[in-house]
Structure 1
Amino acid sequence: MTLTHLNERGQASMVDVHDKDETRREALASGWIRMQPETLKLLVDDDMPKGDVLATARIAGIQAAKRTHELIPLCHVLMLSKVSVDFEFDHQLPGVRVRSFCRLAGRTGVEMEALTAASVACLTLYDMCKAVDRGMVIGGVQLETKSGGRSGEWHREDSQSGAMDQTMADDTAGIPPLEHPEMQVTVRFFAELRERLNVESLHVSLTDLEDTRLSALRAFLLQRIQSGELLEQPRILCAVNHEVVQGDITLAPGDEIAFFPPVTGG
């Protein structure tokens, strides 16, 4: 048997993938965190003392997927085209089930990225909830499905991905198409901001803005969304493609912009 991560001298080596075909590669991973029923109720009611737990865990999982090569030895640096992290409350567990989905067009798979996203999302859920429940248990981190590459498709036989798989594959489905879809950005609102604005997400065409700067998007939202002045509060944070930004930046088609109140960890 040939060990792909060792060279002829038995030394650790990154696999050379230059001769592999570039194909569409996808992976779906899952995990869970079990907690006390009272802790789950606080989470469902969005009443945790540290802020929006799910929004923080989602961003952490996405960031982790993008930095898998820094965490797992010999993993390649990948240009991910999509990362999604989603959650499902499970009162039978009781706790939260996590699903992570990764996609790219490349020469190596994204299984490790999906698994890393699920793992770090679970760890972040623990960090955000440990103030009220230090006895939580994380488990069940596993690959559910993968596709692409020489090995083709693989599905876990006991996978119960169900309808959530489609949610992970396209978490913006159902939003009405725009006149210029190739120029759109996605805007999301989290935690108390989402509740007060009564909107979770929307698509905005850059052609509808005065220019392509973040300030122009803010001005557009201020006019189009009821109570949009909440976005002007200094405490409201903004992330573009899951990176918190300060000041004004230029937006590009396909960007995801998130507005959310501050959260705390530690």
Structure 2
Amino acid sequence: MNQPTSATDTSNLHPEGFTHIDAKGEASMVDVTEKAVTAREAVAEAYVEMQPETLRMIISGEHKKGDVLAVARIAGIQAAKKTSDLIPLCHPLMLTKVKVELIPEPSQNRIRIETLCKLAGQTGVEMEALTAASVAALTLYDMCKAVDKTMVVSGIKVLEKKGGKSGHWQLPSDSHQDAESSTHSDAPSTQKKDGYLSLRFFAGLRESLNCEHMELALIALDTSLGEDTSLGEVKAHLISIHPEWESALSASNVLMSVNQQMAKATTTVQAGDEVAFFPPVTGG
């Protein structure tokens, strides 16, 4: 993994210097004529931080302008395809895949945007992935600015690059770092309770279940303290003790996360984990 270690670290600089400056010091588009055609892809991320009520409104679909996440997703895809029109020295590229995901992170009062761009070509797609993330974030901001003027767009960066002469390159997501910091924090608000899962329910689910937060003892799932339990087992246990919850929790499109990371029914959990359930969000 290549990761900058200080402000003076040069390990990630191009070995031949700035690639878009010619011998005369003038800006120019890089000549890729002789480069080999290889499979290339890039992943980027961005965040939009907001007030809790704004995030709740987006997740529940109550925003008056409609499906905020769907619009932001389409904007990001369109932006990736228009990158060369926006960034003067970028090559027009024939992208073969553009993916834009918008993932609510309720514990952080924000939406995480992750983009993926792929092609078979002679130059990389980092700028396309970054442009998709940036425009998706700006679109989300634009649609919600009337109800929340405190929103902040942050953390725009490339997470991963594959293909070309420089090969495979990665940086950790800010979400992974935030989750790790939360895990090791001694603050009472994030302190873990031994032997328990912290369960949270958001938006429409919170109203349907009439429950926002509960602690669930792992021993109730017939597991040993250090033994892994799947999210599917957690959900089944909740339904067994609250049969009236079955309709809401059994919906195939209910989303789940573990420690602010999107998860599946097969994902395992351990004592101290925070598990969140929330209704589906389109556009992600």
Code of the aligned partner of 1:125: L
1:144 touches 1:159 (CA, 8 Å); kept in 2? no
1:47 is aligned to 62
Q: Which of 74, 81, 91 lines up with 1:76 in the alignment?
A: 91
1:28 touches 1:143 (CA, 8 Å); kept in 2? yes
Code of the aligned partner of 2:171: R
Percent identity over paired residues: 55
Code of the aligned partner of 2:128: E
Displacement of 1:4: 2.1
Displacement of 1:159: 6.5
Q: Which of 12, 15, 24 lines up with 2:39 in the alignment?
A: 24
User: SS at the partner of 1:124?
Assistant: helix
- Assess, with a 3 A threshold, how the Cα gap between structure 1 residues 96 and 154 changes in structure 2: closer, same or farther: same
Q: Do residues 152 (structure 1) and 167 (structure 2) align?
A: yes
Q: Do residues 15 (structure 1) and 30 (structure 2) align?
A: yes
Code of the aligned partner of 2:90: C
Taking the aligned partners of 2:17 and 2:96, their CA distance within structure 1 comes to: 31
* TM-score normalised by L of structure 1: 0.58
Code of the aligned partner of 1:111: E
Which protein has the larger Cα radius of gyration, Structure 1 or Structure 2?
Answer: 2
2:20 touches 2:29 (CA, 8 Å); kept in 1? yes
1:128-175 Cα offsets, whole Å, 9 max, x none, are: 1112101100100111111000111011145768xxxxxxxxxxxxxx
Taking the aligned partners of 2:114 and 2:173, their CA distance within structure 1 comes to: 15
| Unmatched tracts of structure 1, length 5 or more | 162-266
1:138 is aligned to 153
2:48 touches 2:137 (CA, 8 Å); kept in 1? yes
1:105 is aligned to 120
Taking the aligned partners of 1:109 and 1:5, their CA distance within structure 2 comes to: 14
1:64 touches 1:116 (CA, 8 Å); kept in 2? yes
- Assess, with a 3 A threshold, how the Cα gap between structure 1 residues 95 and 2 changes in structure 2: closer, same or farther: closer
Aligned Cα root-mean-square deviation (Å) = 1.4
1:44-80 Cα offsets, whole Å, 9 max, x none, are: 1001011110111001001110011111120000000
Taking the aligned partners of 1:68 and 1:78, their CA distance within structure 2 comes to: 9
User: SS at the partner of 2:88?
Assistant: coil
| Unmatched tracts of structure 2, length 5 or more | 1-15, 177-284
1:247 is aligned to none
1:187 is aligned to none
User: SS at the partner of 1:92?
Assistant: helix
Consecutive aligned runs of 4 or more in structure 1 exceeding 6 Å deviation: none
